[in-house]
Chain A
């Protein structure tokens, strides 16, 4: 098995009597995007602060690229790109100056640095505004520059802490596309969010965190199955629906089948996997299907099931 880019285990941090993070652990493989999904105050930022060596942990270990991370591990820190939740740029410097400054802190210099800066400006869509002071930028542009700084030195692990908070839908989409592109290039990404849609779109695996603990972890499908959630398929159909329902009920994948008002309502274990078979059975009974609507359980419902609360509570 290949060495994981990040392996952390047993992370613990308490502030006086408040235990902010308790026994948090997960691993991220190269090229994988791992999401930490949880509401505000769940312990995401504290976990990230320990992983990135900003915060002294009370317990546990963090290993990045085979190297232990502490607050003084400069070699390990070089493997990491951090995009803090707050926009961490210098408003009175231009976009290019911001990138060059942080590039130098990561040991980059000369033509290599300048070339990489141009490359990143392209990735974040700020080439045309490279020499404008960032104080003149919109919130979305600042967010993109914030991300650009994090990926400038081509880190093995990019940590994005709620990178889309407070940005317009257009910029959010641009940010999400950038992250998808990065994981496609082999960079491991740790992405924290309380937006369920972002976690579902970007993350190969998700850890659901609440009150400082990882409640569940896995792919979206695994999480859904873990809590016993099923996909719902609605077929808009004409013809004799009752024989079709009877035939569908015989399928092992179908847990419930019902017909009502020209629709067949099914509860199945995996809609994507069994849809072809279901359609085949239905059309085999002479029913004509004019529409298919699949309602997969989402992470919001998983979170609700695990914690008894909604993500945005």
Chain B
């Protein structure tokens, strides 16, 4: 172990003199975190607002339920405005307005809901219920929310139909439309709100700080892991192998170097982004566990590159490609988890996603909530580290 430390101390001294590790491990992520936080519309400063119009051509009970209860409940929030118009043409004019974000007092709408005549009758008929949504030229998010609200209500209409049909089948008393409307009830908008913002989402500054920290961690540990190839390139590897130290000590020395560089880089970033940008990383113990897990995973993955690449240059290229691909897939630059679909599921094949997930869990819970993420990171480290060790062993035996 003494030899491993001797090698690690030598490597760290070289890295400090080289300065590239400091740039990649600390300065670059810090600068980018600052830029991302300040320039790219920080998530914590994002406040949803929307202006909707509704045209009720039906006037029936289901249509009024939608206008008064659903849209009315939304309008109770000051950030959403709902105006009722008489004609579809008037609604079209407002949604067609070209939105100038710097212009004030220009009347426009993010979306228009059109409830056609006969809408309420669909509750007791076999015809499909239709709420037409006209998307405006302004906020796509606001238009998307409008579509979601309409779909939600349409879904509840279907529930009402089933209730009415069931009542009729069993000969229950009452008007079929009345039963359907009773079943329709008051829509539960809380489910819509929950889908948009869970309690575990990271604020913008923390998201970018953490994302960039884990992204650059892979580049930082690469300096240590690729040390073996650099020794080979410099011609010093034979000298190390001829010394009376176990081969394992050389590999361990490189891993220790990578780990120390990773810990220093991440620690500096956590402290600096907290103090300078107000990032909220969460419980220090949980963060520390995630950092160790992330470093372990990064060393394992980069170790595979170091073990199988033929030259230090080749390893750097491979490492960079892997770090960038995993970083993007893992959602270090944008929250891919909220995008839904395949990408949201695929992200969990990257340690980056588990790291971000762990921080999210920590933000919404306690230290114990990071255990699944830490476990996943450790699994990455063990599996990849084993493959790397086999590759290095084969290389040294040649």
Give residues in A with beta carbon < 8 Å to B. Answer: 49, 52-54, 56, 71-72, 74-75, 77-78, 80, 82, 84, 86-93, 97, 101-102, 104-107, 149
Contact = CB atoms under 8 A, between A and B. Distances in A.
Contact of A92 (B2, B17, B240): B17
B14 A93 contact: yes
A107 B235 contact: no
Interface stretch (B32-40, B95-103, B108-116, B242-250): B242-250
A86 B235 contact: yes
Contacts of A54: 238, 241-242
Given A74-B246, A101-B10, A107-B244, A82 B18 contact: no
Contact of A106 (B18, B234, B244, B247): B244
Nearest to A75: B244
A17 B17 CA distance: 45
24 contacts: A49-B238, A71-B241, A71-B397, A72-B246, A74-B244, A75-B244, A77-B243, A77-B244, A78-B244, A84-B239, A88-B235, A88-B239, A89-B236, A90-B10, A90-B234, A92-B17, A93-B10, A93-B14, A97-B13, A101-B10, A104-B2, A105-B245, A106-B244, A107-B244
B21 to A, nearest CB: 12
Contact of A93 (B3, B7, B13, B245): B13
Interface string B5-23: 0110010011001100000
A291 to B, nearest CB: 49
Contacts of B245: 74, 105
Interface in B153-169: none
Contacts of A102: 239, 243
A71 B393 CA distance: 13
A92 B245 CA distance: 23
Interface string B220-257: 00000000000000111011111111110000000000
Interface in B356-386: none
A88 B244 contact: no
B242 A90 contact: no
A87 B17 contact: no
Contacts of A77: 242-244
Interface on chain B toward A: helix, strand, loop, or mixed SS? Answer: helix
A105 B244 CA distance: 7
A88 B240 CA distance: 10
B244 A90 contact: no
A86 B235 CA distance: 6
Contacts of B244: 74-75, 77-78, 105-107
Given A74-B245, A77-B242, A92-B18, A84 B235 contact: yes
Interface in B293-309: none
A78 B7 CA distance: 17
Given A71-B397, A88-B236, A88-B239, 11 more contacts: A53-B242, A74-B244, A77-B244, A80-B242, A82-B239, A82-B242, A90-B10, A92-B14, A92-B17, A93-B10, A97-B10
A90 B6 contact: no
B9 to A, nearest CB: 9
Contacts of A91: 234
A71 B246 CA distance: 9
4 nearest CB pairs, A to B? A86-B235, A78-B244, A74-B244, A77-B244
A88 B234 contact: yes
Nearest to A101: B10
Contacts of A93: 10, 13-14
A312 to B, nearest CB: 24
B240 A105 contact: yes
Interface string B130-143: 00000000000000
A106 B10 contact: no
A267 B55 CA distance: 124
B291 to A, nearest CB: 28
A90 B238 contact: no
A82 B14 contact: no
A87 B235 contact: yes
Contacts of B239: 82, 84, 88, 102, 149
Contacts of B13: 93, 97
Given A53-B242, A54-B241, A105-B240, A90 B235 contact: no
- Residue among B234, B236, B239, B241 with the most chain A CB within 10 A? B239
Contact of B238 (A74, A78, A84, A104): A84
B238 A105 contact: no
Contacts of B241: 53-54, 71
Contacts of A89: 236
A93 B236 CA distance: 13
